[in-house]
Amino acid sequence: MREDRRRLDKWLWFARFARTRSASARFVESGHVRVNGERVKQPAKALAVGDVITLAFERTTMVVRILDLGERRGPATEARMLYEDIANPDGNA
């Protein structure tokens, strides 16, 4: 994969939306993720900076814009720098 791209399942794991990479892949395969408005079921979908991801969790939906692809799964403060919550920009639920 190109350096300016990251697999969807890996990015979700880096950004701490899933506890494990396999859980991230299962979440994508279950059809609960949209990238730029299109439903995605392939964990290997390539993401780029600026893409908008919609995540449909059990009790909430998040819409985030990718700010950085990340290099590793770091602490939560580092993970939070990978995206911007555009559905709720002030961070309050």
pTM of structure: 0.89
Residues paired with residue 33 on neighbouring β-strands, in sequence order: 40, 55
Contact 28, 9 (CB under 8 A): yes
What per-residue confidence (pLDDT) applies to 12? Answer: 97
Neighbours of 16 (CB within 10 A): 16
Task: Residues 6-85: name the CATH superfamily.
Answer: RNA-binding S4 domain (3.10.290.10)
pLDDT digits (tens, 9 = 90+) for 3-60: 789 999 999 999 999 999 999 999 999 999 999 999 999 999 999 999 999 999 989 9
DSSP E strands in 5-90: the ranges are 6-7, 33-35, 38-40, 46-47, 52-56, 61-66, 83-85
Query: What's the rounded Cα separation, in Å, for the pair 35 and 43?
Result: 11
For the cut 60, the answer to whether the pLDDT of residue 92 exceeds it is no
What the block records as the tokens of 17 is 């939306």
